[in-house]
Amino acid sequence: MANILIIDNQAWVKDLYKEGLSGEGHKVSTTDDIESVRKNIFSFKPDLVLLNLYLQRGFIVWDVLRDIKMQDKNLPVLIVTAHEANVAKSHLSQSDGYLVKSHTAADELRQKVSTLLNRKPAVQEDLEATPEVIKQAAARKKNFRKVSKKKPVYHES
């Protein structure tokens, strides 16, 4: 299954979500070390990130989200918040959705995680550079050079 990273400073949230997602067969890592995430998200090797809206003092969630997306724009990030009213809709477009924290949100969490994980492979498949894809790209580049070197022919009417 998938590697999921939970970035939250509340132990009950990390424990609850880790238990639920591990039960679905996912490998779940948790952290509240924001600096490590901002510097190198790949050290955690996530397929999906759950990011708490309210981080430790000094960190702004939208800056952390931007840093994650700069490292991997296709990595799904789900914002987790205590209150729906706290979600800034203007910044939400940078994320892949949000979830309101709750002891009863397990079904919604599983549904959103499943949706985001099922969406991600399609993006990756498009980017795979198989030998055949590389050959086709080289042929297109070669043909483009031939066409672009021809001088334009102008016809007078």
The C-alpha R_g of the chain, in whole angstroms, comes to: 21
Residue 107 pLDDT > 60: yes
Query: Does residue 108 sit within a domain?
Result: yes
Q: Residue 92's domain spans which residues?
A: 3-149
Domain count, the chain: 1
pLDDT score at 129:
55
As a whole number, the mean pLDDT across the chain is 77
CATH of the domain at 80: 3.40.50.2300
The conformational region for residue 114 under phi > 0 = left, psi -120 to 50 = alpha, else beta, is alpha
Kindly report, residue by residue over 37-73, the tens digit of the pLDDT: 877 787 888 999 999 887 776 677 888 888 888 888 8
